[in-house]
Structure 1
Amino acid sequence: MRALSPPVGLPMLAESDLVRQVARRLSDAIVQGRLAPGAKVAEAAVARELGISRAPVREAARLLESQGLLRACPRRGFFVRALSAADVDELYDLRLCVERHAAVAASRRLTAEARAALRRQLGLMRELAHRDDPARIVEADYQFHRLICETAGNSRLLRLFDGLASELRLVIGLIGRLYDDPHEIARTHEPVLEAIEAGRPERIVAHVDHHIGVAWREVARLARTLSPTPGGAA
């Protein structure tokens, strides 16, 4: 008897796409602060707002749980994860190791094309600051750092950075709350790029340490002030 192949038609693809779309809508709401740390993700309310059934909302919540943005509480549902100061310390400790190495490696492999791509990304951050578009500024910030890792030319390092993607977006979203002037976010990246362009390892490490270190201290401070609800406690 011949084994049946798993379904591969449009309904499955559409459902899969729908789950990813819902996950992206929810992650954007989390990063932008519309879903605060500790807030419950009410499946029925989300499904009603999006005009869909509850099933893809539940699957999207499970996906975001696997990415570290939500926490599941038995018989209570999903809650936005509240990053503790200890969580921030662990994340930034690892991020600092990854990005120090990536920035030095990127400076050694910096082609005219890679330099132009980084400059364009910095320009995009400035442009979005003029538009006052917080969600896209967060994404542009994340993509700037990812471009550095891409330029480093180490696929395993890039996968490691991508593995931190969801939590980094959440943290970068918190960084956005630290600046009254959105232009300040773009300005803080300029010295890092200039150091990479100059190609001096000690200067690169110093600027990466300062750039990430300032964010580390401030985000850890902010994490202490964001008191989660009991359902979302870590």
Structure 2
Amino acid sequence: MSVIEFEPVNRQSTAEMIADRLRDAIMHGSLLPGAQLVEADLAAQFDVSRGPVREAMQRLVSEGLLRSIRHRGIFVIELTPEDVVDVYRARTAIEGGALELILDGRRDIAYQALEPSVTEMLACAERGDAAGVSAADQAFHEALVDSAASTRLTRAARTLLIETRMCLGALQSAYPDLRDQAREHIDLREAIGNGPADHARTLLIDHMHDAVERLRPLQQPDAEPDVS
């Protein structure tokens, strides 16, 4: 009988805990795009040995949130305009898949699940809280995917939503009136809950496309405006 050697549980737990904290820091902008992560410094901050920190960073490298540059170190990714388009293209596929499952018998569940984020987004928009709108925007799309009750779609959406969160700071300035951003989500929720299925599908696709179009000029500040 062969013996399987497992890593100690506490080491795995520590590495996962550090990975979770690094993800949160990237998502919320505490670790900015392009920031370098130094293994020794992080180990000192977390008060752990360097092994779990190294493992946590490698997890995030494999997830695409960090990148390793030979002879230079590990850095938070910087999203190019092409990356943004690709992220939203992938999100359209994943959230579109979630929407199909929702439309097939889970409309009421999704409608209820989306209510808190929509309410919070509108309240934040009314008081001009752009950061609050972004957080509620994130929560809306997390709830949308979770409402499909597909563990694989939820898992696939996880990294994409973190990458999206990195864009949302810029998206805040793309809406002259934050209430427009809130209304898009209100309309999408109503369509998911009560509207024709094709209308819900169209609104989701249009919502993703609109975000890309709003972000594109913000990521190309030196480009000439497209007036065609």
User: Shared fold (TM-score greater than 0.5)?
Assistant: yes
Aligned CA distance change for structure 1 residues 26 and 135 (closer, same or farther; 3 Å): farther
The answer to whether residue 118 in structure 2 is matched with residue 122 in structure 1 is yes
Given that residues 43 and 57 in structure 1 are in contact (C-alpha distance below 8 angstroms), is that contact kept between their aligned partners in structure 2?
Answer: yes
Q: What TM-score do the two structures reach when normalised by structure 2? A: 0.77
Tell me what 1:62 maps to: 58
Tell me what 1:100 maps to: 96
Gaps of 5+ in 1: 226-234
Q: Which digits, 9 at most, give the CA deviation of each residue in 1:61-103, with x for residues without a partner? A: 1000111100011222211111111122122122223333432
Tell me what 1:171 maps to: 164
SS at match of 1:34: coil
Given that residues 176 and 182 in structure 1 are in contact (C-alpha distance below 8 angstroms), is that contact kept between their aligned partners in structure 2?
Answer: no
Amino acid at match of 2:5: P
Q: What TM-score do the two structures reach when normalised by structure 1? A: 0.76
The separation in 1 between residues aligned to 2:51 and 2:132, in whole angstroms, is 26
SS at match of 1:116: helix
Identical columns (%): 31
The separation in 2 between residues aligned to 1:47 and 1:185, in whole angstroms, is 40
TM superposition shift of 1:114: 3.9
TM superposition shift of 1:60: 0.8
SS at match of 1:165: helix
C-alpha RMSD of the superposition: 3.3
Query: Whose RCO is larger (CA < 8 A, sep 6+)?
Result: 1
Q: Which digits, 9 at most, give the CA deviation of each residue in 1:46-69, with x for residues without a partner? A: 122222222111111100011110
The answer to whether residue 203 in structure 2 is matched with residue 210 in structure 1 is no
Work out which of the residue numbers 189, 195, 198 in structure 1 matches 2:194: 198
Tell me what 1:4 maps to: 3
Aligned CA distance change for structure 1 residues 3 and 99 (closer, same or farther; 3 Å): closer
Work out which of the residue numbers 22, 26, 31 in structure 2 matches 1:30: 26
Question: Aligned residue pairs: how many?
Answer: 218
Q: Which digits, 9 at most, give the CA deviation of each residue in 1:9-31, with x for residues without a partner? A: xxx22211111111122122222
